[in-house]
Amino acid sequence: MVNGTDAASRHTQQRTINKPITLIAVQSSAHIMQIKDRKKVYDGYFKMYELTVEQDGHTFKREQFDRGTAVAALVHDTEKDSFILTRQFRVGSESDLVEVVAGMIDAGENPEDSIKREIEEEIGYHVDQLEHLYTFYSSPGGTTEKVLLYFAEVSQQPSDGGGKADEHEKIEIVAFSEKEFLALETPDAKTIIAQLWLKLWQKR
């Protein structure tokens, strides 16, 4: 394992060698689906809408799960040269998951401020450097959720983290070496994307 200083240097160097990604517009041959009506059918911790849509002269219904916009971050402790993840119970999987730090953007909150807040709440670290990696939909076939994924460098942990008690969060902090993180088997999509980003960075 390389030492923390070297790790911080080589991960910071990535910012200067990243090349812009060119997005290629794909011409769709499918007929456009138009949303004609939107009705809220559930308003709880999350929201659900029933959409009336039209395509090729046909009108039909589709359900849409309004999940909001999320932020996530692969966190690298440059002092210990370790990657800091979380373990917590997730209702969707009905199991504990090891995953990168993540949370929802609060109303009126800037995404960068949101992920810095989540990192402090969940793992107790102050963010030294932050870089946006990707923005993606988690499951566009039925949910509105968009995820902004970041790479965060940290070095100081002023608090214990663990999540917010008033939100019933009980989060365990898990640290991995780079080799351990890349070998981690996880069903969590954002964590897999973070692993693939790190593997691609290593090949540069």
> Can you give the pLDDT at residue 204?
72
Residue 106's pLDDT band (boundaries 50, 70, 90)?
very high
Residues 6+ apart with CB under 8 A from 171: 86, 87, 88, 122, 123, 161, 162, 163
pLDDT in tens, 157-192: 999 888 877 777 789 999 999 999 999 999 999 999
Contact by Cβ (8 Å): 31, 55? yes
Average pLDDT in the 33-51 region?
Answer: 95
pLDDT in tens, 16-40: 334 444 445 555 556 788 999 999 9
Alpha carbon distance 200, 171 (integer Å): 29
* The model's pTM: 0.82
Question: For all residues of the chain together, what is the average pLDDT?
Answer: 87
